[in-house]
Amino acid sequence: MYSSFSPLVLRHLRQLDSKTPIAVLFEKKYYDAKLPSEIVVSLKGNAFNCSRRELNRTWLADLKQHGIPVNVYTVNDEKSMKRFYAQGVDGIFTNRPDILRKVLDDLQQGLKIVAGNEK
């Protein structure tokens, strides 16, 4: 999977490779007030990644309505992990995979783990 903040990079990647999935990495300065689904579709993407502070109910509903996976970063505390899981995100980026693993074990369900470097 390719992912980038830059729509120019994502368009170029799509031209080079029409098959590998693309996840739009959201940055406000590039996309104005568009809905996430509009952004993903316009870039021929497959998923939407955004920060935990940016994700809201409107965006989540929009993405779910259009069948677009949504991944949220960077979530390092148990309470927030449980909240995002309950809201229906498809993936969580974290620097604390140990905590996420515990949360998932407690919930007895699967969710993608995207682990960052622990420092």
Over residues 27-47, the pLDDT tens digits come to 999 988 789 999 999 999 999
Which string of b and e fits 64-103 if b means at least 16 CB within 10 Å? beeebbbbbbebbeeebbeebbeeebbbbbbebbebbeeb
The pLDDT assigned to 109 comes to 55
Mean pLDDT within 80-106: 94
Q: Where residue 88 falls among pLDDT bands split at 50, 70, 90?
A: very high
Cα pseudo-dihedral 3, 19, 40, 89, rounded to 10: -70
SS3 108: coil
CB atoms within 10 A of CB 7: 16
Q: Where residue 112 falls among pLDDT bands split at 50, 70, 90?
A: low
pTM of the predicted model over 0.95: no
